[in-house]
Structure 1
Amino acid sequence: MPIATVDPTTGETLRTFDELDAEGVEKRLAAAAEAFRAHRATPFAERARLLRRAADLLDADQDEIARTMTTEMGKPLKAARAEAAKCAKAMRWYADNAERLLADEHPDDADVKDSGAVRAAVRYRPLGTVLAVMPWNFPLWQVVRFAAPALMAGNTGLLKHASNVPQTALYLEELFRRAGFPEGCFQTLLVGSRAVDAILRDPRVAAATLTGSEPAGRAVAATAGDEIKKTVLELGGSDPYVVMPSADVERAADTAVTARVQNNGQSCIAAKRFIVHTDVYDAFTERFTATMAALTVGDPMDEATDVGPLATEQGRADLEELVDDAVRAGAQVRCGGRRPEGQGRGWYYEPTVLTGVTPAMRIHREEAFGPVAVVYRAADLDEALALANDTPFGLSSNLWTRDRDEVERFAAGIEAGGVFVNGMTASHPALPFGGVKRSGYGRELAGHGIKEFCNATTVWEAD
């Protein structure tokens, strides 16, 4: 795939970039290793000062970088602005909290007395240079939620971003440089996916984090395993959204629309499978379908647009295949199910609601990465849980109920990295984020995320 900015509203290539050659990659690897030796020794207060400066610069650049993101991958401009603001918030959160999160831990004397120690501690130290392989769907946020904790922990970062968001990738390198981070602390590598294996095998790279597809995660995990290097993987999701009779059905249906079409439906944590108790199924489905059908599809630069184009032509083709396969097998299209008229050459797809989906259909098990929702009927919570868990993915989940017992049963029985009750899934700097099963392993954000790329060092002392 060429490294290029391609406008998803027209299919026009706006700008292309040369891929780094071997010499260019070597220079950046050497610079990252050199920067780590100095950066790991800087005090938290200095790292925090630099990260707060980056947040201030990002706030000032919000409109400009939002337009860049929208141009490169098609998210509505208002959503791109919100993404930039969220990134600045996360930077400040880690600047404020990293020292506390990584403070030395001191076990109780009684717990370690029989080890022969008079005192013991656990200290968190950075690992080194972390390679980040990141996707295009949240081109700023996915990177910042790795970079902010990694830099605050004393690591350095190398970013291999998706090939269709090169301008956003280069902006991030320049942002950290403008903030005052030393040369080599954070660098962008304009390389294709084939270059990742060799970079990850380089001894100067200590670990890797990847957000993206299952095949990409398997490839990075295989190489890292061969090299015995730490990885964190956040892969696909097919999140369930369960609605029970005690829920506020209107609010659940309205929130469901946002949960499904956020980022034009191209989000791992977007709700994709809506599992509704039979007592409220008709009311929920009617309101949900009507609201989905009423969404405005169009130019993502227009403030009135709700859903822009998909980021790539192949992404739309993949989505169409899933919907067409379901329809051929008997699924009912409640709304959408086709390319909208009057959108020219852009990669648009109508917000779509399907019912009557069965396990024989691909969309029952495969992730629909676009504005397509599947609504299921469930007789009770046990059936809803069984449907919710009937997927190879386990990223997050949603439950709508006023019944406390149902909340506890769902939280205990769901196979997912998160449970959001009476609201939609969202990531937040103070809450750990990640999945189970084929959604990956490890955690980002919060204290869990910053410790992923630290060495928990035991310090044992005797007289």
Structure 2
Amino acid sequence: MTTIKLTSPVDGSIYAERTALSVDQAHAAAARAKAAQKDWAARPLADRMALVQAGVAELNKMSDRMVQEIAWQMGRPTRYGGEFGGMNERSEYMLSIAPEALAPMIVEDSDKMDRRIERDPHGVILVIAPWNYPYMTAMNTIVPALIAGNAVMLKHASQTLLVGEMIAEAMHAGGIPADVFQNVVLDHAGTESLIAARCFGFVNFTGSVGGGRAIEKAAAGTFTSLGLELGGKDPAYVMEDADLDWAVDVLMDGAMFNAGQCCCGIERIYVHDSLYDAFVEKAVAWVKALKLGNPFDAETTLGPMANARFAATVRDQVAEAVAAGAKAMIDPALFPADDGGAYLAPQILTNVDHSMRVMMEESFGPVVGIMPVKDDAQTLELMNDSPYGLTASLWTGDVDRAFEIGRQIETGTVFLNRADYLDPAICWTGCKDTGRGGALSVLGYHAVTRPKSYHLRKVKS
């Protein structure tokens, strides 16, 4: 039996541990989900919606507990509260569009023919959720999957073991049957065994590129539908007519919030020559105002990274860049809480280029590189010089120019004068090594269902 241990970044203690299901237990859980799904799908859509809404409401009742446990599990400062704002916004929107999104597409309904396309649930869906936004990212798929008539098995990240338990507690309290929604603790072998055995009609994974490859390998030959949101190295382009103060405020927040552990966090910034010096000066002042410390301290604005090994990756990238000629703009001594472990001082790097890992590989930490650029053509080349494509952020007052540039960027989402936000009405998607598939919006319902066509010739007796 495998024991999954959760090491808290707050103090390095073992905060929780759970025993992973054996392969046989995991397959039995999947069989229960499959057996329960038919009755769940047979319920009227309005009933499923009401039960999911009730489950979300139950989760909201746990807000105080959520905030404290998130801090212990992955280090987010309690001053920022839980994830209810984003989670509720997304859940409410997906509930509001469900009848339209799942309605049949009627091609013909005459006295002679009925031709239509309906949306059928996949059956059982596996959601493999990440630790950085453990509620919002999980609920992105859980809510539409259940509403569409699927059974759901949730495997949460080891760093946020308790989140899955809380979501299951809330969903069951709201009335969703225990076998329709299951939180399962699985190791890699158990997860891969279930996928390879074709236990799921759809697997949604949010995590690393390496993890995505392992999912694809496990699913090879099963023809299981996959949704994969993987790495990112999201760029921003600050043009010569940008609102400088607004750009600095939003982009630095996008680079540093949650200790830089955001899927669509800003990891590289390209600033027009004419604004470069002023941007860097203001950005440095912005970062120096942060307070690194214990996440339970009300004054803390930057908590520890979720795990010391994640912080070690960022430290290595920064050290390599500096050794290659980059300039570190932030003196770590300004952040005495930096302990060489999970607590990591934020950093801004200048004199960087694309030969450095910090500008090419995902950092997922509180560091950002800033480069001067001369024009749109040079910036486009730099923005697209990446194996990833999740979001890109443009800063200009010229909307037409933004569209022209945006259509040439290899990315899933283009932001204008904003960054680091998921609009539930717009599909969340990516390209290249960022993965495949889409969540949220009407297309989010398409991901958790499959089209089924009906071509009926009406014969009169």
Say which SS state the counterpart of residue 368 (structure 2) adopts: strand
**Which residue identity lines up with residue 431 of structure 2 in the other structure?**
V
Counterparts of 1:2-401 in structure 2, within 5 Å, are: 2-81=3-82, 83-107=83-107, 118-336=113-331, 340-342=335-337, 347-401=342-396
Contact 2:335 2:345 in 1 (8 A): yes
> In structure 1, what is the Cα distance between the partners aligned to 2:134 and 2:11?
20
**Which residue identity lines up with residue 368 of structure 2 in the other structure?**
A
Q: CA deviation at 1:149?
A: 0.6
CA shift in 2, pair 1:356/1:328, >3 Å:
same
Q: Root-mean-square deviation (CA), in Å?
A: 1.9
> In structure 1, what is the Cα distance between the partners aligned to 2:91 and 2:337?
41
> In structure 1, what is the Cα distance between the partners aligned to 2:71 and 2:378?
40
> In structure 1, what is the Cα distance between the partners aligned to 2:9 and 2:117?
49
> In structure 2, what is the Cα distance between the partners aligned to 1:2 and 1:351?
33
Q: CA deviation at 1:92?
A: 2.5
Say which SS state the counterpart of residue 428 (structure 2) adopts: coil
Contact 1:336 1:353 in 2 (8 A): no
> In structure 2, what is the Cα distance between the partners aligned to 1:108 and 1:442?
30
Gaps of 5+ in 2: none
Gaps of 5+ in 1: none
Q: CA deviation at 1:336?
A: 4.5
Q: CA deviation at 1:217?
A: 0.3
CA shift in 2, pair 1:426/1:2, >3 Å:
farther
Could you give the per-residue CA deviations for residues 58-82 of structure 1, whole angstroms, max 9, x where no partner exists?
A: 221111112111110001223342x
**Which residue identity lines up with residue 351 of structure 1 in the other structure?**
P
Contact 1:255 1:424 in 2 (8 A): yes
Say which SS state the counterpart of residue 369 (structure 1) adopts: coil
Contact 1:338 1:349 in 2 (8 A): no
Contact 2:321 2:352 in 1 (8 A): yes
Contact 1:340 1:350 in 2 (8 A): yes
Deviates more, 1:343-352 or 1:47-56: 343-352
> In structure 1, what is the Cα distance between the partners aligned to 2:332 and 2:350?
12
CA shift in 2, pair 1:195/1:337, >3 Å:
farther
Say which SS state the counterpart of residue 177 (structure 1) adopts: helix
> In structure 2, what is the Cα distance between the partners aligned to 1:61 and 1:314?
30
> In structure 2, what is the Cα distance between the partners aligned to 1:458 and 1:149?
21
Say which SS state the counterpart of residue 15 (structure 2) adopts: strand
CA shift in 2, pair 1:250/1:30, >3 Å:
same
Contact 1:55 1:89 in 2 (8 A): no
Contact 2:429 2:437 in 1 (8 A): yes
> In structure 2, what is the Cα distance between the partners aligned to 1:60 and 1:346?
34
Tell me the matched-pair count.
456
Say which SS state the counterpart of residue 407 (structure 2) adopts: helix
CA shift in 2, pair 1:3/1:339, >3 Å:
farther
CA shift in 2, pair 1:189/1:271, >3 Å:
same
> In structure 1, what is the Cα distance between the partners aligned to 2:34 and 2:334?
49
Could you give the per-residue CA deviations for residues 91-139 of structure 1, whole angstroms, max 9, x where no partner exists?
A: 2222222121110112368xxx9xxx83411100101101111211111
Could you give the per-residue CA deviations for residues 204-246 of structure 1, whole angstroms, max 9, x where no partner exists?
A: 3222010000000011012223211100000011001110011
> In structure 1, what is the Cα distance between the partners aligned to 2:134 and 2:122?
25
Contact 2:427 2:440 in 1 (8 A): yes
CA shift in 2, pair 1:438/1:10, >3 Å:
same
Q: CA deviation at 1:24?
A: 2.7
Structure-1-length-normalised TM-score: 0.94
**Which residue identity lines up with residue 99 of structure 1 in the other structure?**
P
CA shift in 2, pair 1:338/1:348, >3 Å:
farther
**Counterpart of 1:412?**
407
Q: CA deviation at 1:339?
A: 9.8
> In structure 1, what is the Cα distance between the partners aligned to 2:134 and 2:369?
27
- Identical amino acids, percent of aligned pairs: 30
